[in-house]
Amino acid sequence: MLYRVTHQTAYAYDREVSVSHHVVQLRPRELPWQRCLSHQLCVRPDPGVEASRTDYFGNHSVLVTLETAHREFEVIAGSLVEVLPRPSLAAVETPAWESVAAACGAPGWGDAAAAGEFRFESPWVPQRPEIGAWAAESFAPGRGWLAAMADLNARIHRDFVFDGTATTVTTPLAEVFAKRRGVCQDFAHVMLAAARAMGLPARYVSGYLETLPPPGNARLVGADASHAWIAAWCPGLGWVDFDPTNDLLPSDRHVTVAWGRDFGDVSPVRGVLLGSGDHRIRVSVDVEAVDAGASDDGGRSQSQSQSQSFSTPA
């Protein structure tokens, strides 16, 4: 599939901001099944400093500094992305989940050791005993890794209610788990906490999901949203993606932008500013299939306005 993705984030400040620094992570990654054919980034007002870099996780980041007073800040990213179907794992047999956990916890080098750093709690995904106890139902002794992870994926989809009003981007994991309500970011964090509680490496993935309107309704430009899911590691397979919001293994409808320990590592736009007063954020996302023959079922991808900003009084 070929997708044209447009992501717009606009900040409006109640008072003038003297200086602001931002990190933008909106360029889709290059992967065996995904190619970013083109990418443009427009920042308004024009930044005094703009520099690109690759972060610790291999994500493309743009560092932006505005050194003149401003009341508004806008980022518009446009990408053309080709996404290929991934091989089916339906007939794949995997080792018992305990052996995967043991391999990643053993000292050494190589892929298992590299994946092992994703076994630990992180700022947005602290250890929660209640989540570990709940997760254990999916991880019977000797159960295959893939079967256990797929069951966990399905249970989150079944036990949690998709509700765009139940949480905000900063709602703690414990509250999400207690409410059993939230959006894709919340469900990804729950699945990360559950997998890590069993000693399994799992990372947060941000991106987009092609969504289609209900039959008879027109497709609304800009009505899509960022999406989030997770990837977990298994010997022989490497990193395998799971989408608990929709209970599926991502394929050619998911566009991958960035990954990290949790949402904090991959926020599309985050930053600090020198100023005071409140601010408002408006996010518009459009994911359009360029070629014909798009999938015939919709997907849930609503999320909160996934941006972070921090202010320092002038």
Tens digits of per-residue pLDDT, 275-306?
Answer: 877 889 999 999 999 974 444 444 555 444 44
Residue 190 has pLDDT above 80, yes or no: yes
**What pLDDT score was predicted for residue 121?**
97
Q: Given phi > 0 = left and psi -120 to 50 = alpha, else beta, which region is 272?
A: beta
**Contact, 227 vs 210, CB < 8 A?**
no
Q: DSSP states of 283-302 as a string?
A: EEEEEEE-SS---SS-----
Tens digits of per-residue pLDDT, 197-206?
Answer: 999 999 999 9
**What pLDDT score was predicted for residue 306?**
46
Q: What is the mean pLDDT of the chain?
A: 90
Residue 312 has pLDDT above 70, yes or no: no
**What pLDDT score was predicted for residue 91?**
86
pLDDT band at 212 (very low <50, low <70, confident <90, very high): confident
Residue 218 has pLDDT above 70, yes or no: no
Q: What are phi and psi of 10, to 5 degrees?
A: -130, 130
Residue 210 has pLDDT above 50, yes or no: yes
**What pLDDT score was predicted for residue 299?**
53
DSSP 277: S
**Contact, 276 vs 284, CB < 8 A?**
no
Q: Is 159 helix (H, G, I), strand (E, B) or coil?
A: helix
Alpha-carbon distance of 80 to 31, in angstroms, equals: 14
Query: Which two three-digit tokens encode residue 12?
Result: 């409006």
Owner of token pair 């690759």? 54
Which burial class, exposed, middle or buried, applies to 80 when counting CB atoms under 10 A from its CB (0-12, 13-18, 19+)?
middle
Which burial class, exposed, middle or buried, applies to 228 when counting CB atoms under 10 A from its CB (0-12, 13-18, 19+)?
buried
Residue 313 has pLDDT above 50, yes or no: no
Give the count of alpha carbons within 13 A of 198, CB side only.
Answer: 31
Give the pairing type, strands 279-289 and 2-17.
antiparallel
**What pLDDT score was predicted for residue 148?**
98
**What pLDDT score was predicted for residue 189?**
98
**What pLDDT score was predicted for residue 311?**
39
**What pLDDT score was predicted for residue 295?**
43
Residue 42 has pLDDT above 50, yes or no: yes
Which burial class, exposed, middle or buried, applies to 53 when counting CB atoms under 10 A from its CB (0-12, 13-18, 19+)?
exposed
Adjacent-strand bridge partners of 241: 231
Give the pairing type, strands 49-54 and 307-312.
unpaired
The larger pLDDT score, comparing residue 93 to residue 213, is at 93
Show the domains of the chain with their CATH numbers: 2-84+266-312 (2.60.40.2250), 97-265 (3.10.620.30)
Tens digits of per-residue pLDDT, 156-181?
Answer: 999 999 998 999 989 999 999 999 99
Tens digits of per-residue pLDDT, 81-128?
Answer: 999 999 999 889 999 999 999 998 777 768 888 899 999 999 999 999
**Contact, 218 vs 272, CB < 8 A?**
no
